[in-house]
Structure 1
Amino acid sequence: MTAPVLLTAGMALAFCAVHLFVGKLRFLDVAPRSRWLSFAGGVAVGYVFLHVMPEIGAHGGDFASATGWSVPAAEAAVYTLALAGLVLFYGIEQALERSRGTRMEQEGRDRPHHSVFWLHIAASALLVFIIGYLLNHREDDSVAGIALFFTAMVLHFVTADYGTRADHPEIYDSRGRWVLVVATLGGWLTGLGVELPELAIGCLFAFVGGAIVLVVLKEELPTDRESAFQPFLLGIVLYSVLVLGEVAVVGWE
């Protein structure tokens, strides 16, 4: 299913604006951690558990039909992709921390090595490419559905890009953000010309869901972040209300 092209084009450009200008959002650079970042993280987690995970479960049946496996085995395979997304980004975060620590000891600079940071940018570019593609290929192509997807993703990008830029602002501002812009627009353009089978769409959703969970929890859980639980919870609650409201409306139709 596809959403209106002009609508998704505007959303892709909004994603690009976050990549380009997250460093200009000075109100996020506060200690303790900005409540807006915690709120955005809560919305993204709400999206994963109320939208992505149910869709992954629904695609388990398609996977079973395509492979001939039992439904439980097929669902396990699809959820393994979500785990893969989480593990990939966890591994990269660990590499960033080790690289930063090594460089601090050797050079006195609180920055990861360039090669490790570019690995992070490459993984992030893969994620935003997929999300850009999914703008044009979603199971729920209603206005409400695409609006909920956009809201969750644009707030997720604020959290993710802020964290990425914090690792190495010099590289991010000079080149890294432009790589993310190209990946976003590339994903959106690919979505216009390439329509994958529903099975593949389900796999992409699974991978994205696992990656988002890791990125958000990485930003929120460490004690040195001094994150705020109340805005995080508020983001989850407000997004849940919107999702449940959409479900109720659809159920009455």
Structure 2
Amino acid sequence: MPMTLITLLMAFAFCAVHLFVGQLRFLDRNPRSRWLSFAGGVAVGYVFLHILPELAAHSKTFEKATGFDATLAEELVYALALAGLALFYGLERSLAISRDRRMATEGRDRPHHPVFWLHIGASALLVLLIAYLLNHREDPTPAGLALYFAAMMLHFVTADFGTRSDHPEIYDARGRWVLAAATLGGWLLGILVELPELVIGCLFAFVGGGIVLLVLKEELPEDRKSFFFPFLAGALLYAALVLGETYLAV
């Protein structure tokens, strides 16, 4: 099967998560679903075993492309990751503040519409970049693609579930369609446009920072009532798969 068709099917699978996460009723429970904690563990495993090592690899690309010394090039890569983390942290804080203010003034546990749409827009940008990287990853092997796909699928489950819980009415009516369109747009952009390696490194660093924040936001707060052992199982399982794939490739 052509690789382009495989990545297209993966993009459609991402779209299915965006469109139908609200139908996964077994996730909507208190305390938090163990499946969400498991997915969060896989995403954390992806951060430490893929994103952080690839950020280090992209620093060498920065060094060659810019002529900076190795230390400065590495710091620039991690600064981009920090920018992604800071952006999404700011958006999450804006959502929380907006919800508190609306609850105090209107008695509604929902953020204001403009703030929620700002969050959807930033999420769409992140989704677009993730879909673009389906066709432009540091690890081009089939196993690397499969691990990337699995980690991003589970990340989308937790991230979309969290986004939908902020304002399910807007998410179900229009927000999910925006995310699905961004996914297909990112995949198509990856087919039609091959960006320079330096730009891909910048995108990957930014995406990495955003994913780190979103994973920690979903799993760490006390009010999430997360489960440690499913989280640990997800992280260990993903780590075993990555290390096994690396060992077999050597």
State the TM-score, normalizing by the size of structure 1.
Answer: 0.97
Give the secondary-structure state (helix, strand or coil) at the position aligned to 1:172. helix
* Distance (Å, rounded) in 1 between the aligned partners of 2:51 and 2:204: 6
Per the TM alignment, residue 218 of structure 1 is displaced from its structure 2 partner at its CA by: 0.6
- Structure-1 separation of matches of 2:205 and 2:68: 18
Q: Which moved more, 1:105-114 or 1:208-217?
A: 208-217
Output aligned runs, 1:128-139, within 5 Å: 128-139=127-138
- What is the CA-CA distance between 1:236 and the residue it aligns to? 0.6
Q: Which consecutive aligned stretches of 4+ in structure 1 deviate over 2 angstroms post-superposition?
A: none
AA at the equivalent of 1:125: A
SS at match of 1:37: helix
Distance in 2 between residues matched to 1:20 and 1:29, nearest whole Å = 16
Shift of residue 79, structure 1, vs aligned partner: 0.6
Rounded Cα–Cα distance in structure 2 between residues aligned with 1:57 and 1:213 = 16
Q: How does 1:96-107 map to 2 (within 5 A)?
A: 96-107=95-106
- 1:70-219 aligned within 5 A: 70-219=69-218
Aligned residues: 249
Letter in 2 for 1:43: V
The offset of 1:232, in angstroms, is 0.8
The percentage of aligned residue pairs carrying the same residue is 70
Aligned to 2:25: 26
> Alpha-carbon deviation of 1:35?
0.6
In structure 1, what residue type is equivalent to 2:149?
A: F
Q: 1: distance between equivalents of 2:54 and 2:199?
A: 12
**Residue identity matched to 2:113:** H
Task: Compute the displacement of 1:73 (Å).
Answer: 0.4
Query: Helix, strand or coil: the match of 1:205?
Result: helix
Give unpaired runs (5+ residues) of structure 2: none
2:231 corresponds to: 232
- Cα distance in 2 for partners of 1:109, 1:36 equals 29
User: CA deviation digits over 1:125-174, x for unaligned, max 9?
Assistant: 00000001000111211110000000000000000000000000000000
| Alpha-carbon distance, 1:182 to partner | 0.5
C-alpha distance in 1 between matches for 2:120 and 2:242: 31
Using the TM superposition, give the Cα deviation of residue 122 of structure 1 relative to its aligned residue in structure 2, in angstroms.
0.3
Q: Which moved more, 1:148-157 or 1:203-212?
A: 203-212
Opposite residue 142 of structure 1, the aligned amino acid is T
Q: Which moved more, 1:196-205 or 1:125-134?
A: 196-205
Residue 176 of structure 1 and its aligned partner are, at CA, apart by 0.2
Coordinate RMSD, CA, aligned: 0.8
- What are the ranges of 5 or more consecutive residues in structure 1 without an aligned counterpart? none
Query: How many angstroms apart in 1 are the aligned matches of 2:220 and 2:50?
Result: 22
Determine the C-alpha separation between the residues in 2 that align with 1:86 and 1:234.
25
For residues 160 and 38 of structure 2, what CA distance do their matches in structure 1 show?
15
